[in-house]
Amino acid sequence: MMSFSDFPPPAELPNNMHHSEVLLYLCLYTQAFKLRQHIQFKTTVVSVRQRPDFTATGQWEVETERRENQRDTHVFDAVIVCTGHFTQPHLPLRDFPGTRNHNIQNAEGLQGKRVVVIGIGNSGGDIAVDISRVAERVYLSTRSGAWVVHRVGKRGFPRDLNGRSRMHMIMLKLFPSWINRILEKKLNEEFDHRLYGLKPKHGFFAQIPVVNDDLPARIISGRVQVKPNVMEFRGSSVVFVDGSGIDKVDVVVFATGYNYSFPFLPSALQIKCGYRLCLYKHVFPPALTQPTLAVVGFIHALGSINPLAEMQARWVTRVFKGLTTLPSDKSMLEEIEKDSATMFACSDRNPLQVDYIPYMDSLAKLVGVRPNIPWLFLKDTRLVLQVFMGPCTPYQYRLTGPGCWAGARQAILTQWERVIQPFRTRVVPEPESRPSSRLSTIVIFLGSSLLWCFCYKNYPSFFFSPPSFFRFPQ
């Protein structure tokens, strides 16, 4: 699910890679496409500014620094900003006078300590689990709770392969409340979120869930205790909003997220529209007379960032080349305001969150690479079964159109084989398949296909607006 659309990871790599294996995959990608020669390491971008003749040329001056006080200025025809949104840690230290700031890299030095972790995002959950293996006790403080999902899903397959298909997208659009209740019920069957003190006020799809296999086990063993939001610090004591407190706290870890920042860009390009940066489809600033600057990867969703960023980049390069044009500034501003309330799951806590498949499809349509399901249904029944009912892997966006890849079809048809391959360290014979189960699969597929074709033909906007629980009050 995190692969680039024309470069499947080697089958022998695990489904959930260690960070060193992710780095290996990226290195293999750069080697395959000869990208390493174009990368300048240990280089800081100091400023990006328009040239005096920008209206005519669209060019930018980029000032960089490689060593202290050694700066260079370069001229580029276009600029893509890919720094993401994990750049400036959000540390509410001013709300808690007397606290000191330093980064934590691992659990070294925390043996036998009493630690409070503030924040229950994915980082907060991972930090609490890691520290709890050596600390005397870890207290995990959360303001609003979170839904916790495991990486291991049904039958032991990777969780993100389940429920990430176009068929599931349609079901979610048609029955949002019902699907939400089913998902929350299944999560509570694994462990009761209310019993564990984790149950949030929001529904499952309103915010990115915490992906953590170990947190429930650390809670049930008492190594992690879930606490409400912190009210104040009193010396070495921590007081929570429910009146409870902890004495003799050694370390407090703030896992309170990030504030995005682009200090190298002109201030005119950092204007916000509501909760979010004023970017057309999270990519293009509408104020430029020449569309030669774009932001890529400044986004997140219930899915991997790699396919999202790649699709943005494919669209951006076509705009830079003049193969695709942008709407007028007025139209882009109107759509930004509209998208904030409809298509995108935008709020003060989630200004960058989008609905994964609809957002990908909306960009793919602009690039000309969105899969044509009715056409595939007539031409390639075997393929459309995987495209429609299987996980929405990035290879779907290389089947047709600009940049199509001859290996895309085979990559889709063999994707389950690559999922299974890393498990084959001890091969157990497969049981004989039952014809009845195959028949039921075919019946479900045909029924779903007819439903999809009907909706696609009669209600095209249905696929590009979120269900009601993605919409936030204005």
Q: Taking 60 as the threshold, does the pLDDT of residue 375 lie above it?
A: yes
Q: Place 427 in a pLDDT band, splitting at 50, 70 and 90.
A: confident
- What pLDDT sits at residue 206? 83
The pLDDT of 119-146, averaged and rounded, is: 93
- What pLDDT sits at residue 355? 87
Q: Taking 90 as the threshold, does the pLDDT of residue 82 lie above it?
A: yes
Write down the pTM of the prediction: 0.85
The pLDDT of 346-363, averaged and rounded, is: 79
What CATH number has the domain spanning 88-257?
3.50.50.60
The pLDDT of 218-241, averaged and rounded, is: 93
Domain 19-85+260-369 has CATH 3.40.50.150: no
Residues 290-320 pLDDT 10s: 999 999 999 888 889 999 999 999 999 999 9
Percent of the chain with pLDDT over 70: 85
Q: Taking 80 as the threshold, does the pLDDT of residue 447 lie above it?
A: no
Domain with CATH 3.50.50.60 in the chain: 19-85+260-369, 88-257
**3-state SS record for the chain:** CCCECCECCCCCCCCCCCHHHHHHHHHHHHHHCCCHHHCCCCCEEEEEEECCCHHHHCCEEEEEEEECCEEEEEEECCEEECCCCCCEECCCHHHCCCCCCCCCCCCCCCCCCEEEEECCCHHHHHHHHHHHCCCCEEEEECCCCCCEECCECHHHCEHHHCCCCHHHHHHHHHCHHHHHHHHHHHHHHHCCCCCCCCCCCCCHHHCCCEECCCHHHHHHCCCEEEECCEEEEECCEEEECCCCEECCCCEEEECCCEECCCCCCCHHHHCEECCEECCECCCECCCCCCCCEEECCCCEECECHHHHHHHHHHHHHHHHHCCCCCCCHHHHHHHHHHHHHCCCCCCCCCCCEECHHHHHHHHHHHHCCCCCHHHHHHHCHHHHHHHHHCCCCHHHHHCCCCCCCCCHHHHHHCHHHHHHHHHCCCCCCCCCCCHHHHHHHHHHHHHHHHHHHHHHHHCHHHHHCCCHHHCCCC
- What pLDDT sits at residue 107? 75
The pLDDT of 439-453, averaged and rounded, is: 68
Q: Place 336 in a pLDDT band, splitting at 50, 70 and 90.
A: confident
